[in-house]
């Protein structure tokens, strides 16, 4: 494929050509000064001995070429920029020096060695004039080439010395580079598996962003590889977490990758960085990628973070099993036509392959190019293959995917050559085989080779821990290729889920509109302003559903049955939003937040209100205040319809929200007495709570006691006999978000991990440990409307 040359590259090439031509001309002029006399009279001044304009022009050109070379190589994350500059300056000085001294020889000075030796002497700091045996000065008249040669030699020495100093003080220089960068893309923690992902990050880095690797050990080979990509390396003592928190670069952070192979370490570091960011800035929706290799753990954490109740991060997870599955399936789907993929063996990679194929099915159902082939089916071969199919189905249910379109067949036998041969022979021309990673001690590594010799036309991918990570490797036997678990992302693969969602939503919308305007061009040709607008719409939907709609995107373990989208199409926007789980007030608040954010984005790009939309002049008829929208039924309906469409499209892509608060029934009996004076009591978290005169002191059968305000007590307890009461009614409850402070009627209460936050009928809040909550409440109780 032909490589396109940018305007900057073309300018750099032309400037280099001009510089080389002028240096060559000065070298030729040093050999034959008469050349200048043959030029037109108006150009004869260039190259004249002691001509300061000539020296200035050539010196400036050489300097600019060096600067552009440095910037171009740094943009490609190459660490060889100083070496290239030094070599260029040395070549320039040697060429000009040798040609200037070429005629300086006599009986005591060699014709060939003397020019080279005197050219080399330019690096020793002496003068440029040399003397022959009879004390004759040579050259008799100093050519401009020799002046340029001396300046080039000085430049090479300076750049070389600076490079050596930087190398000797690499750690300090990296900290300085990071400190004075405009923005930072930080990678915290790395191992050999993570290098390929960092390389992908470096290739997609914005021109004004600095890649910074923060590591506990800077002497490992993987760190040197990342440094060679142009990254600044900052070292910290992992036994002292405060060192990580005290780094001065966090206020400039624009993207964060936590790539330690230990997910617990990554999440601990995330807590430290989050705390520090809250102190030094107010940035929101910073892209965050956390490495979690186990595909189930990654999916559960991703579900908990998706959308993010804490708007500081736009979080996603990545792991070597998920990335490897994506890479393998990309190669198979884009290759020869395949109707079935046989997965030999069971491991975490098996689950990742099932999950990735299921997501592809969802995306194909949402939008597919008419020229794309149908996705292949999966067949799992393994002694416990049926368990893995059940695990996949359970995972889909936990995510709230009730209509799993992925067809998975199983063969419950060990993936031996005879078993796989029987599975393939039915239609060998349309099968592909993936032999997943297994126990190295018990694995038969010859299975792939033996299958390839039997079926030379069948693509076979066999796990090999010693395989090189490369996109294309020629097969040795049949179509056998080896792979290893690694995190080398496929080219062009979106690193986060919301980027992928924004692209798919736009592609279907643009296809429906027929690509008839600048805003409806295919994603690859779409102007960056409109790409950003699509990203903004998805990111804002994630935010406003939680902050304005009272929902969460974490549907892991959700038992609610959502209303089918087929029943929503054609309804009024407010009714669609009600079925998605939002009442009129929440829907209006969400539509307002979306409209105002859309207006901010367009106005920041210098768009203005115009009665008629004009994309060239940047006029838009809907760029009005929310009061105007609310007063116009057509504009209001359009805003609500846009919101409903966005949420329904996210539903189609597998991203479903549910209400944060769920309904629970109060259960059990207590003993209670009303007190006439104020008192204090201690909560389960050890905090002192204040009860007022007239409140009730309540105690359950396990000895726990608490206070309840009189009006709330009488509305939620029924007398049995004496001081025994039955708990009645309902409460809303949600899981606590880590350590958060809740303002209760008795005073502030801080939650612990696993606690619940409860809300009474009168809006009163209180907290409760998980074991107590399980004893006192039943549910959740189904609501009258479904979640979105």
pLDDT of residue 309: 46
In 484-596, the DSSP E strands lie at: 551-552
Q: CA–CA separation, 259 vs 194, rounded Å?
A: 7
pLDDT of residue 784: 42
Q: CA–CA separation, 565 vs 221, rounded Å?
A: 52
Closest among 763, 748, 668 to 711, alpha carbons compared:
763
Q: CA–CA separation, 225 vs 299, rounded Å?
A: 30
CA atoms within 13 A on the CB side of 746: 24
> What three-state secondary structure class fits 393?
helix
Between CA 358 and CA 294, with CA 451 as vertex, the angle to 5 degrees is 35
Query: Over the range 17-45, which residues count as b (16 or more CB within 10 Å of their CB) and which as e?
Result: eebeebbebbbebbeeeeebeeeeeeeee
Closest among 284, 112, 83, 293 to 193, alpha carbons compared:
293
Token pair listed for 621: 């008829």
> What three-state secondary structure class fits 712?
helix
Torsion of CA 631, 636, 639, 643, to 10 degrees: 120
Q: CA–CA separation, 306 vs 542, rounded Å?
A: 8
CATH fold for the domain made of 337-483? Rossmann fold (3.40.50)
Q: CA–CA separation, 79 vs 86, rounded Å?
A: 13
Q: CA gyration radius for the chain?
A: 35
For the chain, the structural domain boundaries read 7-168, 170-319, 337-483, 497-655, 662-781
Mind listing the pLDDT tens digit for each residue in 98-147? 888 787 877 677 777 777 887 787 777 666 777 676 666 777 777 888 88
Between CA 649 and CA 201, with CA 494 as vertex, the angle to 5 degrees is 155
Q: Is the dihedral of CA 639, 644, 650, 655 positive or negative?
A: positive
State the DSSP H helix or E strand holding residue 503, giving kind and residue range, or none if neither: helix 497-513
pLDDT of residue 352: 92
pLDDT of residue 378: 92
Q: CA–CA separation, 644 vs 574, rounded Å?
A: 8
Neighbouring residues of 548: CB distance < 8 A, sequence distance ≥ 6: 586, 589, 590, 593
Phi, psi of 291, rounded to the nearest 5 degrees? -80, 120
In 458-573, the DSSP E strands lie at: 459-463, 479-483, 551-552
pLDDT of residue 476: 75
Closest among 144, 136, 113 to 35, alpha carbons compared:
144
Note the helical H segments in 334-464. 348-366, 385-398, 417-424, 447-454
Neighbours of 600 (CB within 10 A): 11
Closest among 335, 676, 363, 345 to 497, alpha carbons compared:
363
pLDDT of residue 78: 54
C-alpha distance from residue 580 to each of 538, 552, 570, 659 (Å): 17, 12, 14, 10
Spatial contact of 322 and 329, defined as CB atoms under 8 Å apart? no
Q: What is the DSSP string of 420-449?
A: HHHHHTTSGGGEEEEE----TTT--TTHHH
Closest among 682, 760, 770, 765 to 728, alpha carbons compared:
760
Q: CA–CA separation, 552 vs 546, rounded Å?
A: 5
Mean pLDDT (10-residue bins), the chain, 788 residues: 60 86 86 82 81 86 84 60 80 84 74 78 71 70 82 84 70 74 87 82 76 84 82 81 82 88 90 84 78 86 63 80 90 86 92 90 82 86 91 78 72 90 78 81 73 89 75 73 80 64 89 85 88 88 85 71 81 91 91 94 92 90 93 93 91 83 89 93 85 92 86 91 91 83 88 88 88 87 51
Spatial contact of 621 and 610, defined as CB atoms under 8 Å apart? yes
Token pair listed for 1: 């494929």
CATH fold for the domain made of 170-319? Rossmann fold (3.40.50)
State the DSSP H helix or E strand holding residue 260, giving kind and residue range, or none if neither: none
pLDDT of residue 101: 79
Neighbours of 419 (CB within 10 A): 16
Between CA 292 and CA 265, with CA 304 as vertex, the angle to 5 degrees is 35
Q: CA–CA separation, 746 vs 327, rounded Å?
A: 56
* Residue 2: alpha-carbon gap to chain centroid: 29
Q: CA–CA separation, 654 vs 504, rounded Å?
A: 12
Neighbouring residues of 269: CB distance < 8 A, sequence distance ≥ 6: 188, 189, 241, 244, 258, 260
Same topology, domains 170-319 and 337-483? Answer is yes
Spatial contact of 367 and 507, defined as CB atoms under 8 Å apart? yes
Neighbouring residues of 132: CB distance < 8 A, sequence distance ≥ 6: 104, 105, 106, 108, 109, 138
C-alpha distance from residue 83 to each of 157, 164, 706 (Å): 12, 11, 73
Closest among 498, 572, 588 to 534, alpha carbons compared:
498
The DSSP secondary-structure symbol of 614 reads B
Spatial contact of 183 and 209, defined as CB atoms under 8 Å apart? yes
**pTM for this entry:** 0.67
* Residue 737: alpha-carbon gap to chain centroid: 24
Inter-axis angle of helices 417-424 and 447-454, nearest 10: 40
Q: CA–CA separation, 731 vs 760, rounded Å?
A: 5
Mind listing the pLDDT tens digit for each residue in 682-712? 887 788 889 999 999 999 877 788 999 999 8
Q: CA–CA separation, 712 vs 700, rounded Å?
A: 17
CA atoms within 13 A on the CB side of 140: 3
Closest among 290, 260, 291, 288 to 191, alpha carbons compared:
260
Beta strands at 408-411 and 377-381: parallel, antiparallel or unpaired: parallel
Q: CA–CA separation, 767 vs 90, rounded Å?
A: 73
Token pair listed for 553: 């995107």
3-state secondary structure labels for all residues of 72-117:
HHHHCCCCCHHHHHHHHHHHHHHHHHHHHCCCCCECCECCCHHHHH
């Amino acid at each position: 494929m032909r490589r396109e040359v940018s305007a900057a590259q073309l300018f750099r090439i032309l400037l280099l050509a001009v510089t080389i031509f002028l240096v060559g001309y000065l070298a030729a002029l040093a050999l034959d000064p008469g050349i200048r006399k043959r030029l037109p009279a108006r150009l004869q001044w260039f190259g004249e001995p002691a001509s300061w304009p000539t020296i200035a022009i050539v010196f400036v050109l050489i300097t600019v070429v060096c600067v552009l070379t440095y910037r171009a190589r740094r943009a490609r994350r190459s660490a060889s920029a100083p070496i290239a500059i030094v070599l260029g300056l040395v070549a320039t000085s040697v060429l000009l020096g040798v040609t200037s001294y070429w005629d300086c020889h006599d009986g005591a000075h060699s014709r060939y060695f003397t020019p080279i030796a005197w050219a080399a002497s330019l690096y020793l700091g002496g003068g440029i004039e040399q003397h022959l045996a009879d004390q004759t000065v040579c050259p008799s008249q100093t050519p401009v080439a020799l002046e340029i040669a001396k300046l080039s030699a000085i430049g090479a020495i300076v750049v070389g010395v600076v490079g050596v100093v930087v190398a000797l003080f690499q750690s300090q220089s990296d900290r300085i580079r990071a400190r004075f960068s405009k923005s930072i893309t930080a990678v915290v923690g790395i191992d050999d598996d993570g290098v390929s992902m960092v390389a992908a990050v470096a290739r997609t880095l914005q021109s004004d962003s600095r890649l910074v690797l923060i590591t506990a050990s800077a002497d490992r080979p993987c760190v040197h590889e990342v440094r060679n990509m142009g990254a600044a390396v900052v070292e910290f003592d992992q036994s002292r977490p405060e060192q990580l928190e005290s780094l001065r670069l966090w206020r400039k952070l624009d993207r964060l990758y936590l790539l330690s192979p230990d997910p617990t370490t990554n999440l601990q570091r995330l807590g430290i960085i989050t705390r520090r960011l809250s102190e030094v800035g107010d940035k929101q929706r910073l892209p965050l990628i956390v490495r979690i290799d186990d595909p189930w753990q990654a999916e559960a954490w991703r579900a908990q973070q998706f959308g993010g109740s804490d708007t500081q991060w736009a979080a996603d997870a990545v792991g070597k099993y998920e990335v490897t599955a994506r890479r393998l399936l990309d190669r198979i789907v884009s290759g020869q036509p395949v109707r079935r993929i046989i997965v030999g063996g069971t491991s975490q990679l098996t689950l990742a392959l099932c999950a990735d194929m299921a997501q592809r099915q969802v995306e194909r159902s949402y939008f597919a190019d008419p020229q794309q082939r149908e996705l292949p089916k999966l067949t799992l071969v393994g002694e416990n293959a049926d368990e893995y199919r059940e695990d996949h189905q359970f995972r889909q249910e936990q995510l709230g995917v009730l209509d799993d379109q992925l067809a998975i067949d199983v063969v419950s036998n060990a993936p031996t050559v005879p078993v796989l041969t029987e599975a393939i022979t039915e239609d060998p021309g349309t099968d592909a085989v993936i032999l997943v990673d297994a126990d190295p001690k018990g694995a038969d590594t010859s299975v792939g080779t033996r299958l390839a010799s039997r079926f030379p036309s069948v693509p076979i991918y066999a796990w090999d821990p010693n395989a090189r990570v490369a996109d294309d490797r020629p097969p040795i036997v049949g179509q056998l290729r080896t792979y290893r678990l690694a995190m080398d992302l496929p080219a062009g693969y979106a690193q986060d889920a919301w980027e992928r969602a924004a692209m798919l939503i736009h592609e279907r919308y643009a296809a429906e509109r027929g690509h008839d305007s600048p805003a409806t061009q295919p994603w690859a040709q779409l102007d960056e302003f409109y790409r950003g607008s699509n990203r903004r719409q998805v990111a804002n939907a994630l935010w406003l559903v939680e902050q304005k709609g009272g929902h969460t995107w974490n549907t892991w373990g959700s038992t609610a049955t959502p209303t089918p989208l087929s029943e929503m199409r054609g309804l009024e926007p407010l009714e669609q939003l009600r079925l998605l789980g939002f009442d009129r007030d929440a829907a209006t608040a969400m539509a307002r937040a979306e409209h105002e954010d859309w207006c901010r984005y367009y106005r920041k790009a210098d768009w203005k209100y115009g009665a008629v939309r004009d994309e060239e002049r940047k006029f838009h008829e809907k760029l009005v205040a929310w009061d105007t929208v609310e007063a116009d039924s057509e504009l209001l309906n359009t805003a609500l319809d846009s919101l409903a469409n966005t949420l329904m499209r996210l539903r189609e892509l597998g991203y479903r929200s549910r209400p944060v608060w769920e309904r629970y029934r109060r259960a059990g009996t207590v003993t209670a007495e009303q007190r006439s004076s104020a008192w204090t009591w201690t909560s389960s978290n050890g905090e002192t709570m204040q009860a007022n005169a007239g409140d009730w002191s309540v105690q359950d059968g396990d000895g726990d006691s608490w206070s309840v305000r009189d009006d709330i007590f009488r509305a939620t307890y029924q007398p049995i006999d004496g001081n025994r009461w039955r708990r009645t009614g309902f409460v809303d409850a949600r899981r606590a978000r880590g350590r958060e402070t809740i303002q209760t009627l008795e005073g502030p209460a801080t939650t612990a991990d696993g606690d619940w936050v409860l809300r009474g009928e009168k809006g009163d809040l209180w907290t409760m440990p998980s074991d107590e909550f399980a004893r006192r409440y039943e549910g959740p109780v189904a609501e009258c409307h479904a979640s979105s």
